[in-house]
Structure 1
C-alpha cells in the first residue's frame, strides 16, 4: 500500500527562490572578485545568488528513504530554498554513486524544481597512516572517477567533511593556532584534499570545490592555503552554542565577519543548527537562532550560502545529537511528519 505523507506548511517569505539555470550561470553568479568589500545591491543583499537550503540524507537513512525524493525537493521549494546538501559515497573502482536507484529520482526532481544538489563527497579510502604521496594519489583517483561520472550533474563539490578533526591534537584546544594540529597528520590530510581537488578538476575544469571546518578551526583552512591546497570556497559549520562561546572565549560576536577578515574566498555555511541532544529544547529556540544567524549571513556579501542542519529528525539515532536536528519532526515514524516552528 502506498504511504501517505502529511505536513503543516506555509511558504517562507523574503527568501530567494533560484530559477533553473545553467552550470556556467551558477559559476558566474557566485564568482567573488572583490573580496570582503564585494559590491552590494541597493537592497543590502549581494547581487549574486545566495544559496539558502538544508542538509539531508536522501541516499541513506530511513527517515529520508521513506519519503519520496520529489516530496523532499518540494519541501525545500515551499520554504524558498534553492540548495540541498547531501552526503555521497562513490564506488572506489568506477566513481559511481553507491545507490543509483536513490540518486536518479532525486536528481530528476531537483533539476525540475531548479534546486542545486551539493554533494559532500565522503573520503571513504582516506588513511591517516599513509605517506603524503600515497594520500594524494588516493584523493586524486577518488575525485577523478567521481567527476568523470558526474561532472555534468554538479557545479559544486564539498570534498571531505571536517577533516581537520583527523589532525587536531587532543585536549581542550580551540584549533585557532597552528600549534593545535599534529603537523605530520595535517600533511597527510592536506595531500588527500589536494588530490581530491586535482582529480575533480582534471575531469570538470569548471568545478568549484569546497573544504570545510567548524568551531575555531579556521586556522586549519589557512594552513591548507599556505600548504598549496587549492579550493574555491571556504565551508564552515556553526551551531548555536558556538555563538555564545565565541563571544565569551574569543571576543567574536559575528563569525561571518570574523571569517571575512581571514579569507578572500566566498564563504558558505554548510551546516547551521541548534543542538538538542535531549529533545527538550523548544522549537522557538531553534527558530530564533536560525532566523538570527541566517540574517547575519545574508547581510554579509562575502557569505554566499546558509544551509540548515537538517531536514528531518533522525529518531533512529537514539540519544545522539542528530536525533532532533530536523526542522521537520515525525508525528508517526517515517509516515507522517510535521513542520517545526522554523519550517512553518
Structure 2
C-alpha cells in the first residue's frame, strides 16, 4: 500500500472518530455484560507450535505466559480457533479445558471460533442437523466456561461460497453451497441455544463485502446475536471509493441492527518495508481504528490479530510473511525464511520461541488502556 493510501486510511479513521464524537462513548470493561467495550486478541493455543499446542521437543509459549501477555496489555478477550469432531469435542480437548480454566481464573473471556464441518455434497437438511449436533455437543462439553461463540470463520472465503465479484449480489455466489452453509449455521445456532438459551452467538466474514451472504445467513438464523466483521487497513478506502460507505460501523449497524464485534484487525506486514516501518504501521492502525470504535456505541469489541508471530503457519518450511510477522509479540532472532542457512540454524533450536518481546502496538496498548 502506498503512503498516499495509508494517509487516506488514517483520514477516514479520523472521520469515523469525529462523526461519532457526539455519541455516548464506551468505557473499557472486563465484565460479561453487553454494556462495556472489550479489547481482545486472537491466538492459536490449540493448533500452533509457537503457542505450545502440541507435544513437541520445541518449547512454545506456555499458557500461563500467554495469559500474562493479555493481562500486561489489559486485554480481556482471548479469541481462539477450535477444530472439533462431529459431536463437538475439541481435537485438543484436554488442553482446551486447561486454557478455559486458566482464562476464567484470570478474568479473561474466551471467544471460541468453532470451525464449521459443512459437507457441501450433503442435503441441506443434513447440513442443518450436523451443525445442530456439533454445537449442541460443544455447548454441553464447554459451555460452563463460555458466554460468547463465533460460528465458523470467513465461510464465504474458506468454504468457497463466493466465486466472483465483491459479494453483494447473488450472481457472486455458488448458491448450492450458500443454501447448505446457511442451513449449517442455522443448525449450529439452534444447537447452541438448545443447550444455552442465553449464549451470545456471532458469525464473521472476511470483510469485503459479502453482504448478500450475511443477509441470507441472518435471515436463516435470525437469533444470532452479534455481527462479527474482519477489517484491515486497505478495506476502508475501498469501502468509500467503490460503495460510498463513509462509516463501516454505521453501515453494518444500520443493515443488521446488531452489536458489532471486529474479531480480526491489524496492519499486514509488508516485505518491502523494514521491521521498524511495519511496527509503526501496525501501531498507528491499532490506535486509530480502536479510537474510532470506542467512539461508536454500537461497536462492542475489537479483537486484534494476533498475539504471537506464527512462523509455522502452513508448515514450518512454508513462507508466509504476513503470518510470520502478524504478532503483537515477536520472536527475537527469527531470521525469516529467505536466508536458508540462518533459518536452518534457527529452527534447530528447541527454545527458539522463548526469546520474545512486545512490538510497539502492544507496548502502546499497555498505556492506552490505563
Fold match, TM over 0.5? yes
User: Within 2, Cα distance between the matches of 1:287 and 1:251?
Assistant: 27
Q: Which residue of 1 aligns with 2:359?
A: 340
User: Within 2, Cα distance between the matches of 1:207 and 1:257?
Assistant: 25
Query: Which consecutive residues of structure 2, in runs of 5 or more, have no partner in the other structure?
Result: 1-25, 53-59, 334-351, 364-370
Q: Which residue of 1 aligns with 2:309?
A: 313
The runs of at least 4 consecutive aligned structure 1 residues that moved more than 4 Å come to none
Conserved? CA contact 2:309–2:329, under 8 Å: yes
Tell me how large the CA RMSD over aligned residues is. 1.9
2:39 to 49, 52, 55: 52
C-alpha displacement of 1:343 = 0.5
SS across alignment from 2:209: coil
Q: How does 1:137-216 map to 2 (within 5 A)?
A: 137-165=129-157, 166-171=159-164, 173-213=165-205, 214-216=207-209
The answer to whether the aligner puts 1:81 opposite 2:75 as a matched pair is yes
Q: Which residue of 1 aligns with 2:337?
A: none
Query: Which consecutive residues of structure 1, in runs of 5 or more, have no partner in the other structure?
Result: 1-13, 20-25, 31-47
Using a 3 Å threshold, how does the CA distance of structure 1 residues 146 and 339 change in structure 2: closer, same or farther? Answer: same
Q: Which residue of 2 aligns with 1:11?
A: none
Q: Which residue of 2 aligns with 1:33?
A: none
User: Within 2, Cα distance between the matches of 1:229 and 1:286?
Assistant: 35
How many residues get paired? 303
Q: How does 1:1-344 map to 2 (within 5 A)?
A: 16-18=28-30, 26=32, 29-30=33-34, 48-65=35-52, 66-93=60-87, 95-123=88-116, 125-165=117-157, 166-171=159-164, 173-213=165-205, 214-278=207-271, 280=273, 281-317=277-313, 318-320=318-320, 321-332=322-333, 333-344=352-363
Conserved? CA contact 1:234–1:268, under 8 Å: yes
User: Within 2, Cα distance between the matches of 1:304 and 1:17?
Assistant: 10
C-alpha displacement of 1:226 = 2.6
User: Within 2, Cα distance between the matches of 1:189 and 1:141?
Assistant: 15
Conserved? CA contact 2:331–2:353, under 8 Å: yes
Conserved? CA contact 1:62–1:334, under 8 Å: no
Conserved? CA contact 1:277–1:323, under 8 Å: no
C-alpha displacement of 1:200 = 1.0
C-alpha displacement of 1:225 = 2.2
C-alpha displacement of 1:211 = 0.8
C-alpha displacement of 1:129 = 1.7
Conserved? CA contact 1:167–1:186, under 8 Å: no
Structure 1, 138-147 or 227-236: larger mean CA deviation: 227-236
Using a 3 Å threshold, how does the CA distance of structure 1 residues 319 and 247 change in structure 2: closer, same or farther? Answer: farther
User: Within 2, Cα distance between the matches of 1:137 and 1:329?
Assistant: 42
- 1:239-268 superposed Cα distances (whole Å, 9 cap, x missing partner): 111122222222223311221221211110
C-alpha displacement of 1:17 = 4.9
- 1:109-151 superposed Cα distances (whole Å, 9 cap, x missing partner): 211211100000111x311121101111111110111111112
Using a 3 Å threshold, how does the CA distance of structure 1 residues 148 and 108 change in structure 2: closer, same or farther? Answer: closer
Using a 3 Å threshold, how does the CA distance of structure 1 residues 257 and 195 change in structure 2: closer, same or farther? Answer: same
Conserved? CA contact 1:328–1:343, under 8 Å: yes
C-alpha displacement of 1:220 = 1.6
User: Within 2, Cα distance between the matches of 1:330 and 1:108?
Assistant: 27
C-alpha displacement of 1:167 = 4.8
User: Within 2, Cα distance between the matches of 1:147 and 1:134?
Assistant: 20
